[in-house]
Structure 1
Amino acid sequence: MGLFRYTVRRLLQAIPVLLGILTITFLLTDAIPGDPVDIMLGPSPAQRVAEEIRAKYGLNRPLHVRYFNYVSDVVLHGDLGRSLYYKTPVSQKILERLPVTMLLMLSSFAFALATAIPLGVISAKRRNKPTDHVSRVVALIGVSTPSFWIGLMLIIVFAFHLGWLPATGLILPWAAPASVEGANSRVDVLVRSARHLVMPMVSLGTLQMAAIMRIERSSMLEVLSKEYVKLARAYGVPESTIVRKHAFHNAQLPVITVVGLQLSSAIGGAVLTETVFNINGLGRLIITAVNNQDIQLIMGTTFVFGLVFVIGVIVTDLSYAYIDPRVSYGEAE
């Protein structure tokens, strides 16, 4: 029951956060210099046509009226407005691109966790040995290197010189075989999708991998120095059993925390990664919106990115209960 109450409380706490995202995005978007109608129609638009477009999209109304209308549409109807550039509902464009970005982000986190956790554990077990030094150097390079630079280097090496992987585009694994050139079965689609996904996944996931690996190593070293671990060693428990059964589980709470915090960098990195690899996801969509001063699309995509981050943080908080049973979520209050 405590977990249920905590979940409800966290969801209620997310409401003012999302309203704050809507408000700040609206005000910042309104402060962008230039007129979106001029961008859409050209530098010398016909006055009548320009006024009709401003009236259609509500751009001729006062700021406070536009703000309250926008917030009420989003909160009460889930309506994110209509794109000036695409001339379609913003929610429709977001739903078209969101699966691509989510596939990229989830695969990058899968890559990060699958590599960072084993490397962090091995580095902690072999502290100050060559394996540990190599792992720490890899983590330092990963944290210090921008994702777009990694993407460009991967394209130069594996696409341009070696020709092993495609440089641009992304095939969704759930696409119909008939819609994918040269694919005759579902297996062909999955193979082609994996080949397209490898470089963007590594490019976006390297930063997360490096950050998680450093936390995993530090957390494992802290747990391995605890008294109960020393006692287990004194009783002759094998080191592999100590690491697997006693240390690893207790060391994961800080890792879960950093995974949740890495969502923000993953969202920002997705924008650059999609641009480098010419992937039509939310990142490319928001770049198009900014270039064309599509205010409705800018606000809609920013709100969705904020929503994804808030949901990720809530899921991270709830995950603590499954890792550490000592977390009571306020039951003793």
Structure 2
Amino acid sequence: MFGLRAVSPGDPATLMLGEGATQELIEHVREQEGLNEPIYVQYFDYLQGLIVGDFGYSWRSNREVEAMVIERIPATVELAVVATIVAVVIAIPLGVISATRRNQPSDYGATMFSLLGISTPNFWLGLMLILLFGVWIGVLPTGRRAVGFGEAMVTLVQYGSATGLITWLQHIALPAITLGTYFTALITRLTRSGMIDELGKPYVTASRAKGLPNVLVRYKHVLRNTMIPIITVLGLQMGTLMGGAVITETVFNWPGLGLRLIDALDARDWPLMQGIVVFIAIAFVTINIFVDAIYSYLNPQVNE
């Protein structure tokens, strides 16, 4: 991404100072920011800053990049976590029902839902949800959130008022559904295929021959073994949601990293864009390490 600075249109110094700035002032800013250096020199200077935790300053607002990233992290994490919860709560029961009732109407319905979920673009779904629930019915807000999850919980604990939590749920409902729809369809299909594969294994036949109830066999043994690949996909998709919420946050004006990335792109604010991308990469790696730990717990054989 750093190399795109060299080929992107526009002079960063001119963007920082405005079109009315004198050439002398522009050259001074270019020298001060190191923009007159070769691109490889700028790159190594940037890497040296990253090593000591210095992400630089935003060209547009002249604020520290790490501060601008950190203040938007909670909103993005909230949206990604709630979207994941929505997807898991809906997808796993659908996948189990579809696998245990093959070639029945419920199976066809779950398959059709998965197909529609994977095929529907997020931006179109978001606009349709806004039109339906925000404009026609008018039961849910469609703009920027009024309160964060942390603030809502503080209000609930300290004052015993659930008003803030209800407001937060109302604002996050549509963005979470929009972001989690593709995820829901993916997990549904994965659960169905995993359950079908596990149900055909000898240990299921042996468990039923021992007289164990079907519900116990289905949910304690079969679903547990099916969850191993699902957990892996959940981790990968969680990292993807962190970086892939750009469109959803833009549609709903959600104050997260995605919306800030779009604003930085419009302003050609490269230090801010790079800082956001670096954070998303770090978050993706961290989440995958955490998923590997859970995978080892669910399947101890991987450690042997």
Tell me the TM-score range normalised by the shorter chain.
over 0.9
Q: What is the rounded CA distance, in whole Å, between the counterparts of 2:186 and 2:209 in structure 1?
A: 33
State the shift of 1:267 in Å: 3.3
TM-score (norm 2): 0.93
Structure 2 segments unaligned to the other structure (5+ residues)? none
In the alignment, structure 1 residue 62 sits paired with structure 2 residue 38:
yes
Deviation at 1:178, TM superposition (A): 11
Q: How far off is 1:255 after superposition? A: 0.6
- How far off is 1:222 after superposition? 0.5
5+ residue gaps, structure 1, are: 1-24
Residue 71 of structure 1: aligned partner? 47
Contact residue 207 and residue 217 of structure 2 kept, 8 A: yes
Single out whichever of 136-145 and 45-54 deviates more from structure 2.
Answer: 45-54
Q: Cα gap change, 1:304/1:178 in structure 2, threshold over 3 Å: closer, same or farther? A: closer
Runs of 4+ in 1 over 4 A off after TM superposition: 176-179
Q: How does 1:75-224 map to 2 (within 5 A)?
A: 75=51, 77-170=52-145, 171-175=147-151, 186-224=161-199
Identity %: 40
In structure 1, C-alpha distance between the alignment counterparts of 2:301 and 2:292, rounded to whole Å: 14
Question: CA–CA distance in 1 between the matches of 2:37 and 2:72?
Answer: 30
Name the SS for the 2:126 alignment partner.
helix
Q: Which residue, out of 7, 11, 16, partners 1:40? A: 16
| SS of alignment partner, residue 300 of structure 2 | coil
Paired position in structure 1 for 2:242: 267
Asked if 1:282 corresponds to 2:251, the answer is no
State the partner residue of 1:6.
Answer: none
Select the residue among 178, 203, 213 that pairs with 1:238.
213
Instruction: Work out the CA distance in 2 between the residues paired with 1:52 and 1:125.
Output: 70
Within 5 Å, give how 1:319-330 maps onto structure 2. Answer: 319-328=294-303
> What corresponds to 1:52 in structure 2?
28
**CA separation in 1, counterparts of 2:153 and 2:192?**
43
Q: Cα RMSD over matched residues? A: 1.9
Which of the residues 294, 298, 309 maps onto 2:269?
A: 294
Amino acid at match of 2:298: I
Take 1:236 and 1:211, find their aligned partners in 2: how far apart are those partners? Answer: 34
**SS of corresponding position for 2:82:** helix
Three-state SS of the structure 2 residue aligned to 1:168 is coil
Q: How many positions carry a matched residue from both structures?
A: 300
* CA distance in 1 between partners of 2:56 and 2:201 (Å): 56
* Cα distance in 1 for residues equivalent to 2:207 and 2:245: 44
SS of 1:327's equivalent in the other structure is helix
For 2:55 and 2:301, how far apart are their aligned partners in 1? 41
Tell me if structure 1 keeps the 8 A contact 2:77–2:242: no
Q: Distance in 1 between matches of 2:243 and 2:41?
A: 31
